[in-house]
């Protein structure tokens, strides 16, 4: 079929009538399909069930250094867990703090601490006339919700195929000392699934911010989440690069096992410089006497070492790879050549990004919902939920079963086609 934009009005109206008939048939099926969040499927969760058996009432819960994991202590985490997550994050275990079950919670706490007590002795953000944060867009909605909650002014920065537009980032942070940070998902980004290039990482490490308390919030949530063994993205390690650049304190690096083992029951970690570590421990010792060491030990005994994580993630890839490929195939089959949208083809992570014709995203999502398919709300990938082009949609393929996913995608592409024709016709009338 030729591109819709090249069709006459009569051809478009005939196509629209046919598509609306298909849509009514879909509605009559009473579907209830959800691909709104990037959740692991039940099959993925089942991969970690043996972790429930590595500890029982007869297990020795003593660490290598003699710590009894049932008791208080080890504020920064047991050494075995720091070593395991250190290998996963490519950082020295001494530079890592093991937290509870959620890296998002650690990020929220970090912003909260900066807000009330400042960074390394600098003025608490709450006492400043204005605090700004850079937000690469499209980006991760839950990052934006954190800074929005604290009333921080979020400034969108365009994403490119190699990461945030660093010309803009460098200029803004150098000129404005009210800019205190930037959100980053550097590997298999949410929602595009791209990874920052070597040049982008090096430019981040060499930033010259006007604010001495500026920090990069480096959320490497998908560092292990490859789809293919023989074709993977590579990411330069940011802390080492910052140290080389003479900016050792510039980065807070976050990670967790939430999409490796059990979301909500994994372990989260922060890697950063010794100076930042000291700053974190200063407040952490008032917050807790130690996080869940039994869960840390459970993870260590289950994986044993980094090789155990790598093999485990291969099993995840075997489950979700067909889903990503199904999305890409269906988008190409149903929309390829129509010039009504573009989409990414990531090598890892949890999302595929779709860009519709301007002004169509909200209509597509609403139309899909009426047909029984729930998609991430249009605009969610922008600060304050405001996509200026109303075009960006995040597709989350992992949770539904493959057959359900394929059905949901057929509904989605049907809605894209209907919304696109209506948009083209409306623009012509205008």
pLDDT-based confidence at 186, cuts 50/70/90?
very high
| CATH number reported for the structural domain that contains residue 352 in this entry | 3.90.1150.10
277 lies in some domain: yes
Same domain, 14 and 75: no
Q: Which domain holds residue 245?
A: 61-304
Q: What is the pLDDT of residues 301-358, one digit of tens each?
A: 999 999 999 999 999 999 999 999 999 999 999 999 999 999 999 999 999 999 999 9
- CA 10 vs CA 7, 17, 184: distances in Å: 8, 11, 47
Domain boundary among 304, 336, 365: 304
- Residue 37 is predicted with a pLDDT of 85
- Residue 35 is predicted with a pLDDT of 87
50 lies in some domain: no
Same domain, 40 and 163: no
**Cβ–Cβ < 8 Å for 35, 397:** yes
Can you read off the two tokens belonging to residue 158? 């365009």
Query: Angle at Cα 345 formed by Cα 344 and Cα 347, nearest 5°?
Result: 130
Same domain, 29 and 85: no
Widest Cα–Cα separation across the chain: 79
Count structural domains, the chain: 2
**Cβ–Cβ < 8 Å for 357, 420:** yes
User: Is residue 1's pLDDT more than 90?
Assistant: no
411 lies in some domain: yes
Domain boundary among 304, 333, 361: 304
The pLDDT > 70 percentage for the chain reads: 100
- Residue 36 is predicted with a pLDDT of 87
Residue 82 CA to residue 76 CA, distance in Å, equals 8
Same domain, 292 and 341: no
Helix (H, G, I), strand (E, B) or coil at 225: coil
- Residue 260 is predicted with a pLDDT of 98
Partners of 62 in the beta sheet?
68
pTM of the model: 0.96
- Read off φ and ψ for residue 12, nearest 5 degrees: -65, -40
Q: What is the mean pLDDT of the chain?
A: 97
328 lies in some domain: yes
The pLDDT > 90 percentage for the chain reads: 98
- CA 159 vs CA 16, 92, 190, 220: distances in Å: 34, 30, 11, 17
311 lies in some domain: no
pLDDT-based confidence at 164, cuts 50/70/90?
very high
CA–chain centroid gap for 93, Å, is 24
Same domain, 265 and 372: no
Can you read off the two tokens belonging to residue 401? 């079963």
383 lies in some domain: yes
- Dihedral angle at the C-alpha atoms of 142, 143, 149, 152, nearest 10 degrees? -160
| CATH number reported for the structural domain that contains residue 121 in this entry | 3.40.640.10
Provide mean pLDDT across the span 394-416: 96
pLDDT-based confidence at 234, cuts 50/70/90?
very high
Same domain, 190 and 141: yes
Q: What is the pLDDT of residues 30-78, one digit of tens each?
A: 989 888 889 999 999 999 999 999 999 999 999 999 999 999 999 999 9
Same domain, 136 and 193: yes
Same domain, 156 and 261: yes
Domain boundary among 269, 304, 339: 304
Comparing C-alpha atoms, which of 385, 384, 405 is closest to residue 396? 405
- Residue 430 is predicted with a pLDDT of 87
Q: What is the pLDDT of residues 240-293, one digit of tens each?
A: 999 999 999 999 999 999 999 999 899 999 999 999 999 999 999 999 999 999
Sign of CA dihedral 420, 377, 350, 145: positive
Same domain, 284 and 339: no
């Amino acid at each position: 079929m030729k591109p819709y934009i090249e069709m006459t009005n009569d051809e478009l109206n005939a196509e629209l009538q046919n598509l609306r008939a298909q849509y009514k048939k879909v509605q009559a099926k009473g579907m209830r399909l959800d691909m709104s969040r990037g959740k692991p499927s039940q099959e993925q969760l089942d991969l970690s069930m043996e972790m429930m058996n590595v500890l029982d009432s007869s297990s020795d819960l003593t660490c290598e250094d003699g710590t009894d994991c049932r008791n208080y202590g080890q504020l920064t985490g047991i050494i075995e867990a720091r070593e395991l997550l250190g290998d996963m994050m490519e950082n020295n275990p001494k530079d890592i703090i093991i937290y509870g079950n959620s890296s998002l919670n650690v990020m929220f706490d970090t912003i909260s601490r900066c807000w009330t007590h400042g960074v390394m002795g600098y003025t608490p953000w709450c006492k400043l006339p204005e605090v700004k944060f850079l937000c690469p867009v499209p980006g991760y909605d839950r990052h934006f919700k954190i800074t929005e909650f604290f009333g921080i002014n979020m400034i969108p920065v365009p994403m490119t195929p190699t990461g945030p537009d660093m010309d803009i980032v460098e200029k803004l942070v150098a000129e404005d000392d009210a800019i205190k940070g930037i959100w980053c998902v550097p590997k298999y980004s949410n929602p595009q699934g791209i990874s920052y290039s070597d040049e982008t990482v090096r430019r981040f490490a060499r930033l010259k911010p006007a604010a001495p308390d500026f920090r990069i919030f480096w959320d490497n949530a998908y560092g292990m989440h490859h789809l293919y063994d023989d074709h993977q993205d590579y990411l330069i390690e940011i802390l080492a690069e910052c140290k080389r650049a003479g900016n050792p304190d510039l980065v807070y690096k976050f990670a967790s096992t939430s999409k490796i083992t059990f979301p909500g029951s994994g372990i989260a970690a922060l890697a950063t410089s010794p100076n930042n570590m000291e700053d974190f421990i200063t407040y952490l010792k008032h917050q807790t006497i130690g996080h869940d060491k039994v869960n840390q030990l459970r993870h260590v005994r289950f994986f044993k070492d980094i090789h155990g994580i790598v093999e485990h993630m291969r099993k995840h890839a075997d489950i979700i790879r067909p889903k990503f490929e199904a999305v890409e195939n269906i988008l190409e089959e149903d929309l390829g050549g129509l010039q009504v949208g573009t989409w990414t083809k990531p090598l890892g992570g949890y999302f595929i990004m779709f860009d519709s014709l301007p002004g169509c995203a909200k209509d597509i999502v609403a139309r899909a919902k009426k047909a029984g398919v729930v998609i991430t709300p249009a605009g969610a990938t922008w600060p304050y939920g405001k996509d200026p082009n109303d075009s960006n949609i995040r597709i989350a393929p992992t949770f539904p079963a493959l057959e359900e996913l394929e059905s949901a995608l057929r509904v989605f592409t049907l809605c894209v086609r209907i919304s696109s024709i209506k948009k083209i016709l409306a623009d012509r009338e205008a």
